[in-house]
Amino acid sequence: MRNGNSLGPRCAPIFIKISAFIMIGLICSQAAAAPPQGKERSEIALLKEEVAGLQKQMRGYNALRREVARLRNRRDRARRDREEQKELSVLIAHLSSSIKNDAKHDDGYTAGYDDGFYLQSPHQSNKLVINGELQFRYMYTHSEGFSSPGPTDSPSAGDTNGFSFRRARLTFSGNVISRHLLYNIQGDFAGDSSNNGNFQLNNLWMAWQLNSMIGFRLGAFAVPFSKVQWWENEYAFDFQETPEELVPFDPDHSLGISAFGDLINNKIGYEVMLNDGSQANETGYSSAINGAQDNRLGIYGRVQWAAAGHETDFLNEPDYQYRRHFIWMLGAAFGYESQNATSTAFPSPQNTLLAQGLSAGSPSAFLAPIAFTGNLYRATADWSAKYRGLSLNSAVYFQQFNDTLPPGPTNTFQVQTGAESTYQIGYFVQAGYFIVPRRWQLTARVGQIVSSGPKHMDIYSVGLNYYLLGYHASILSDITYVPDAGYTDPQTGTFLNSRDIIYKMQFQLLF
């Protein structure tokens, strides 16, 4: 009995606790099962929306992380490629430098072609350039002699025609020891005195060019008078020949010394020459100037200004480059020389200065060339322009002959001209246009030679040219009409005191 009574008080608290837990669970379950009311429902909806937004942002953030990782990989690959390319460039440069050094160590010279075949040392202190010019021509001339009486009239010349090599030139040029020490040797297998195959000298000079503004040239070369002499080439004309109007005024080549340069680089150029007079070295042989001594003195000077463009733009007449901006150049020159052509002249008579194209008073006719004794004064001005396939060239020439011999029957000049002094003026206007750019070119030229006598020489020319490979290979053709020729010239096809119709076709090759 004692044990049973003692059990009751100890178990009562446990049952009370269990009952309390059961009651709390029932209340909570009922509270959970009951739907939210009013404000509670709104807050839950907002929480759900915020959770959904956060989940969406999390997905975007993950996508952004993946894109950033992809871009980083791409950047890393590009950086690695650049580093590899840089390393490869450095390696190539090193190999190239090694090859060049090895080549210099072996022989030090390079060869190739750049508007001429060349051979040069590493620093170009020694250089040789070889150029060639071939001109193969057919010429037909119909001449009718004038019937007026007189000792200088030519008979009817009739028709002449034939093939010839107008020029067959080789030029060796460059520098030696230094870039400032220049040389030029030009010979012609088809010159005036070399149709027998002799190698006739045309240019033979050396020069020391201190800088672009001043240089000195010694030897035999073209006299700086007309623009033709400045070119020192005859392959890039609108016509096959130098203008017929220039022939009586042309000093051609001579022996002497000159100062040359550009006052403004490639814009204003000049050259002043002291020489042995007109055509004193036309053939290159010492016999052409009667030995090494000469009793003449000549001084010539030329200046030219490329106002729009550059001097080098006018190294040729045609606008083959089809320039899209109008360019033009103005040139001027002067000349003085004296000559003693008498039989008593020391060391011998000088006679390369010939007065031709002069007019006699009675009977009215052009005179045969006269070996002039006295003083000669010359001047010229020329203008050139190019624009979109159009080339324009014009020039005027003037010369004054002052005879120094005493009057008398032995004074040929005064006897034939009837005066102690006389003048000549020549001029021409010329145009060329590419009707097909860089292929077909039309040309035209008109000019006149006037002297103090009663007669004058008119010249009219038209031509058509085709360029196969630019200036390197071309075909030129033209026809010239001269109603009254003032001189005889086998190159232009004119006959003294004759009405001439001259047709020429020429194939030319330049390398």
Helices assigned H by DSSP within 144-241: 227-231
Note the pLDDT of residue 187: 86
Q: How far apart are CA 210 and CA 346, in angstroms?
A: 38
| Spatial distance between the Cα atoms of 263 and 494, rounded to a whole number of angstroms | 40
Q: What is residue 33's predicted lDDT score, i.e. its pLDDT?
A: 46
Q: Spell out, as residue ranges, where the chain has pLDDT lower than 50.
A: 1-17, 20-21, 26-34, 105-106, 147-151, 153, 193-196, 285-292
User: Strands 456-467 and 268-275, how do they pair?
Assistant: unpaired
**pLDDT at site 37:** 53
Secondary structure of 308-330 in the HEC alphabet? ECCHHHHCCCCCCCCCCCCEEEE
Enclosing H/E stretch for 306: strand 297-308
What is the C-alpha to C-alpha distance for residues 324 and 320, in angstroms, rounded to an integer? 12
Q: Hey, which residues does 477 pair with through a beta bridge? A: 464, 505
Tokens of residue 163, six digits? 């093939």
In this structure, what are the phi and psi dihedrals at residue 39, rounded to the nearest 5 degrees?
-60, -35
Q: Is 63 exposed, middle or buried (0-12, 13-18, 19+ CB in 10 A)?
A: exposed
H-state helical runs in 306-418: 412-417
Enter the pTM of the model.
0.76
Tell me what pLDDT residue 6 has: 42
DSSP code of residue 492: T
Q: Report DSSP state, residue 212.
A: S
Contact 359, 454 (CB under 8 A): yes
* pLDDT for residue 193: 47
b/e map 441-474, b = 16+ CB within 10 Å: bebbbebebbbbbebbbbbebebebebeeebeeb
Fold of 130-510: Porin (2.40.160)
- Which residues sit opposite 338 in a β-bridge? 297, 375
CA gap 508, 31 in Å, rounded? 116
Q: 146, 497 in Cβ contact below 8 A?
A: yes
Q: Are 342 and 405 in contact (CB under 8 A)?
A: yes
Mean pLDDT, the chain, whole residue set: 82
Q: What is the C-alpha to C-alpha distance for residues 447 and 481, in angstroms, rounded to an integer? A: 11
In the chain, domain spans: 42-106, 130-510
Surface-to-core class of residue 166, CB atoms within 10 Å of its CB (0-12 exposed, 13-18 middle, 19+ buried):
buried
